[in-house]
Structure 1
Amino acid sequence: MAPRYLIGIDQSTQGTKAILLDDFGRLLIRTDLSHRQIISEKGWVSHDPEEIYANTIRVIETLLEKAQIPAEQIAGVGISNQRETSMIWEKESGRPMADAVVWQCARAEEICARPEVEAHADEIYEKTGLKLSPYFPAAKFAWLLEHTEGAKEKEAAGELCMGTMDVWLVYKLTGGLSYKTDYSNASRTQLFHLSELKWDEKICGLFGIHTSSLPVVCDSDSCFGMTDFEGLLPHPVPIHGVLGDSHAALFGQGCLLPGTGKATYGTGSSIMMNTGDTTIRSKNGLVSSIGWKLGGKLVYVLEGNINYTGAAISWLKDQVRLIDSAGETEHLCRAAVKDDDLYFVPAFTGLGAPYWNSACRGSLSGIGRTTGREEIVRACVESIAYQIRDVVDAMGADAGICPESLRVDGGPTKNTYLMQFQSDMLGSEVLVSDSEEMSAIGAACAAGIVLGILPADVTEQIKRTAYHPQMDEELRIKKWNGWKRAVVSIL
């Protein structure tokens, strides 16, 4: 039998990448292409949906050229996506009516502050698991409807589509035949009832949205339609795995049981834990979402998002110029004076989970006579591990369990000093994936499993490097207490 291959697409904030998996689940090739970050004078962040779709076709074309395999052996597609980025387009023509509003953009803040919306903040949280915020698509959709000429009229007439990036790509890749989203992405819109598993009529009404205008919500491994990538394949293949990027990474990391969790280290970080069939309403600064619905089984998650992890390293390089590249940090950390009292809190525009304080600003505290370049770099690197422990502790407080080991991925995981320090601060095992493409891998694996190409336990085949706690307990407690004091001082 001829080998079969799977394509995974990860449409992220900075660009679009495509990967090719073989029928053993091995990553063979990766291609990627960045897109413009459109930033207005007001600081609003937008993306051009047409550019992103065109880039998607281009990365697939490049992938097939590099792969040098018969295109007819492509069997299916999985898609992971930047989650809260929101857009509207004409249903008949498929033409975007405006640029997409990126998840980082807070232009809809005024909508969340309206008395008629804010009065229902507790109800919104109870139903959706998400705190009222312009971060989520509910307010972004409302803003687009109110500020795009003709949008309200088209929405009222049933002539408008609105969705997150997964919906847009599925719609375009299927030639407008499929208008669908999955449970993971729907749960991040702040319009979806986590328990009733449907668009909530009342919440949609608060934001001026008709539920009939929203996409059909499907299982994450259902068939979202067929695509030939604008003729790049000789025949259409099914899109069979669609998940939000962090959810796809959780699945790709093999966190399939309650209490298992992962952290993705990037510009910021997403720490997510599987909570099984239980929805947990956080009392400690986290959010509840749907992880996925795969094989007919629904899984819920707890999540904490940190604003600045890898971005703290970028700050060292680009703003204060203490390093020329991120790769220097490991050597500098090891060269620093051991066990000083220096702490860096990277609250450049406030702190995310579990503190959620947008007014506080960063600090460098505990400066002594021996403080120099190496010590400042180490404090920045260690701040990543401290922030992730903050979220893991909050998960333990909410769920009554913490991950016995934390599975991690992303560029900063190459720093062995950071990974060992992370294990020491958590007091548990840290497992570093040998691949940075966990979102695309997770989506492609979901497609491969339902198509019968990959075994259900394929994610356990991923190679990982293990780190175990080595720090003396007394020193660990001392360092952790110092971090907590540094954070409290700026709140």
Structure 2
Amino acid sequence: MPSAVLAVDQGTSGTKALVICPERGVIGTGSAPVAPRHGSGGSVEADPRQLLSSVIDAGRLALAEAGEPVAAVGLANQGETVLAWDPGTGTPLTEAIVWQDRRAAPLCAELAPHAATLNRITGLPLDPYFAAPKMAWIRRELTREGVVTTTDSWLVHQLTGAFVTDAATAGRTQLLDLEKVAWSPEALGVFGLEGERLPEVVDCAGGFGTTTAFGPALPLTGLLVDQQAALLAQSVTRPGTAKCTYGTGAFLLAQTGETPRRTAGGLVSCVAWRFGGRTSYCLDGQVYTVASAVRWLTELGVISGAADLDPVGSAVPDSGGVTFVPALAGLAAPWWRGDLRGSLTGLGLDTGPGQLVRALCEGIAAQIAELADAVAADLGEPLTTLRVDGGLTRSALLMQTQADLLQRPVEVSALPDATALGVGAVARLGAEPGLTAEEAVPAWRPSAVYEPAIGAAEAADRLGRFRAEVTALLARTPETTRVP
């Protein structure tokens, strides 16, 4: 009988762990908070030791609740968060520089003449969001000691002593040759990182050592970056299918198969996963502020939390002419203007919390509709449906708004914690040779399906108003740190 596995999702604001049994589903859960610190100059940092302790604490809680042994462990990670550390002792030499950190923007502006070359090699636009600019910034500003890697390599080293990163996480650095799935000497040279000791790029499923961090010795058999883990959990394994995760930010990924698809619309082309030496690729688009924008509205006192989105927003029929571009940490794909800040227009004396909530939902949904349009343009055909997961999918108002602006059905996952479920499937693949990805992933089923409730003309009009505000922002904001 197939054995249960422990799946650990180390995220931006916390770590979630599940014990997953192939027959009975989730039989144990655990969580532990993480507190990233936002500072001046666009800094966002976290304590590496807190990341590690959250992984161990969440995993032990999940195992205690399950009350039975597991066969293996899988670990998902944040992707673009980096740190420097001593490979001899494992001691962190810097804080973890979180994916949202923007302090490498001047370095990216300096490297702008190399942007096209980097995009050709790695599939990624030159932007502080990715790991390599942060790694180069650490080397310039903080320390030349030790190694500088994404957080997964440090966590795995702490757990097992191995020095590895999975192919999908390596693809988020801007140092990986997309076709060869190997470190690129040319990209390393652009960032001044030649001679760095980098982790071995490995398949996402396999044997990565043994850990006793959770109690009894357990093999670590699954490694995958967070959004690709959610992609797998949503059963988005065929070219042309897509998912979107609504978390701190929103991340839309579309499967493109075994050939990397170069994008003309400002998206990211990257590794989805690599199993048995065979690589699958995807297109990726990001929205920087989603749950974080809801939190911002909460801190202003407009609402008391995400649970208020539906009752407050549904108390009014529409946004009352208010348009919100929630670029509170800049605009990501397809614009790549991290220097922009948000706008809120059309305010009147009759504007209340309901209109602001609706405008926020529409601003989030409009950005994701833009990403879906860019995917459709790259693939040569529109997406048929969008599968979604994440905490904010509990908002019927946001999901209906999304379906309206997309003019496509939105299928909400019935399985919470998609990232942990995805890396749990990968851990099973590593622990049970001969198992296929389709066999390892839980059967897909939606908890709700939202169909468009407005016509194409109204959707185009509402998207047009949002685009006009983005165009106005682009026109009046100096491009001091923009990288083409």
Give your verdict on TM over 0.5: yes
2:285 corresponds in structure 1 to 304
Once the two structures are superposed, the pairs formed by residues 10-29 of structure 1 within 5 Å of their partners are 10-24=9-23, 26-29=25-28
Give unpaired runs (5+ residues) of structure 1. Answer: 152-159
| Amino acid in structure 1 at the alignment position of 2:239 | P
Q: Secondary structure at 1:213's aligned position in 2? A: coil
Deviations 1:70-113 (A, max 9, x none): xxx31011111011111222222222222222222222334333
Q: Is the 8 A contact 2:319 2:359 kept in 1?
A: no
Partner of 2:417: 437
For 2:440 and 2:89, how far apart are their aligned partners in 1?
Answer: 40
Aligned equivalent of 2:209 = 225
Aligned-partner SS, 1:126: helix
Q: Is the 8 A contact 1:200 1:211 kept in 2?
A: no
Partner deviation per Cα, 1:319-356 (whole Å, 9 max, x = no partner): 2x221222122123222134853322112343222222
Q: Deviations over 1:279-330 (max 9, x none)?
A: 22222221111111124431111111112222332222212x2212221221
Summarize the Cα distance change of 1:262–1:458 in structure 2 as closer, same or farther, 3 Å threshold.
Answer: same
Aligned partners of 1:162 and 1:215 also within 8 Å:
no
Deviates more, 1:447-456 or 1:94-103: 447-456
For structure 2, list consecutive stretches of 5 or more residues without a partner in the other structure. Answer: 475-484
Please tell me the root mean square deviation across aligned C-alpha atoms, in Å: 2.3
Query: Which of 280, 291, 309 is the equivalent residue of 2:261?
Result: 280
Give the partner amino acid of 1:266. G
Structure 2 distance, partners of 1:310, 1:486, is 21
Separation in structure 1 between the aligned mates of residue 349 and residue 43 of structure 2, nearest angstrom: 42
The question of whether the paired residues in 1 share the 8 Å contact of 2:122 and 2:178 is answered with yes
Q: CA deviation at 1:359?
A: 4.2
Name which of 51, 67, 76 aligns with 1:80. 76
Q: What amino acid sits opposite 1:289 in the alignment?
A: C
**Comparing 409-418 and 455-464, the one that deviates more:** 455-464
1:253 and 2:247 aligned? no
- The 2-side partners of 1:110 and 1:87 are apart by 19
Tell me, what secondary structure is at the counterpart of 1:74? Answer: coil
| 8 Å contact from structure 1 (residues 86, 163) kept in 2 | yes
Cα 1:239–1:113 shift into 2, 3 Å:
same
Alignment map for 1:56-205 (pairs within 5 Å)? 56-69=55-68, 73-114=69-110, 117-149=111-143, 151=145, 160-174=146-160, 176=161, 178-205=162-189
Residue 458 of structure 1 deviates from its aligned partner by 4.5
Contact conserved, 2:127 with 2:336, CA < 8 A, in 1?
no
Equivalent position to 2:441, from 459, 462, 472: 459
- Determine if contact 1:45/1:105 at 8 Å carries over to the other structure: yes
1:198-247 CA-partner distances (Å, limit 9, x unpaired): 111122123232466101101111222222226x01xx322121111011
* 1:214 maps to 2:198: yes
Number of aligned residue pairs: give it. Answer: 471
**Matched-pair contact (CA < 8 Å) for 2:37–2:46:** yes
Contact 1:267/1:307 (8 A) holds in 2: yes
Deviation, structure 1 residue 384: 1.6
CA distance in 2, matches of 1:243, 1:192: 16
Amino acid corresponding to residue 14 of structure 2 in structure 1? G
CA distance in 2, matches of 1:113, 1:443: 35
Q: Describe the shift of the 1:334–1:47 C-alpha distance in structure 2 as closer, same or farther (beyond 3 A).
A: closer
Letter of the aligned partner of 2:272 in structure 1? G
Paired residue type of 2:210: M
Determine if the alignment matches structure 1 residue 477 to structure 2 residue 456.
no
The residue number in structure 1 matching 2:477 is: none
SS at match of 2:324: strand
Q: Secondary structure at the match of 2:6?
A: strand
Matches within 5 A, 1:362-381: 362-367=342-347, 371-381=351-361
Structure-2 residue corresponding to 1:157? none
Partner of 2:478: none
SS of match in other structure, 2:457: helix
- Which residue matches 1:156? none
Quote the Cα distance in structure 2 between the aligned partners of 1:402 and 1:167. 37
Q: Larger Rg: 1 or 2?
A: 1
Q: 2:309 & 2:18 partners in 1: Cα distance?
A: 29
Counterpart CA distance in 1 for 2:466 and 2:269 is: 26
Q: Which amino acid aligns with 1:66?
A: E
Alpha-carbon shift at residue 415 of structure 1 (Å): 1.1
Taking a change above 3 Å as real, the CA distance of residues 212 and 348 of structure 1, as seen in their structure-2 partners, is closer
Q: 1-side partners of 2:248 and 2:55: how far apart?
A: 22
Worse-matched range after superposition: 306-315 or 254-263: 306-315
Decide whether the 8 Å contact of 1:252 with 1:439 is kept in 2.
yes
CA contact (8 A) 1:295 1:450 kept: no
Matched, 1:361 2:341: yes
Distance verdict in 2 for CA 1:349–1:78, change over 3 Å: closer
CA contact (8 A) 1:78 1:446 kept: yes
CA contact (8 A) 2:240 2:254 kept: yes
Contact 2:37 2:44 in 1 (8 A): yes
Give, as a single letter, the amino acid of the residue that structure 2 aligns with 1:95.
T
Give me the whole-angstrom Cα distance separating, in 2, the residues matched to 1:143 and 1:325.
35
Matched, 1:416 2:396: yes
Question: Is the contact between residue 131 and residue 287 of structure 1 (CA under 8 Å) also seen in structure 2?
Answer: yes
Residues 227-283 of structure 1, C-alpha deviation per residue, up to 9 Å, x if partnerless? 2226x01xx322121111011111111100111111111221111111112222222
The answer on whether the counterparts of 1:201 and 1:211 sit within 8 Å (CA) in structure 2 is no
Q: Is the CA contact (8 Å cut-off) linking 1:341 and 1:482 kept in structure 2?
A: no
Matched, 1:8 2:44: no
Q: Deviations over 1:437-488 (max 9, x none)?
A: 1111100111113433976344352431222223233322332323222332
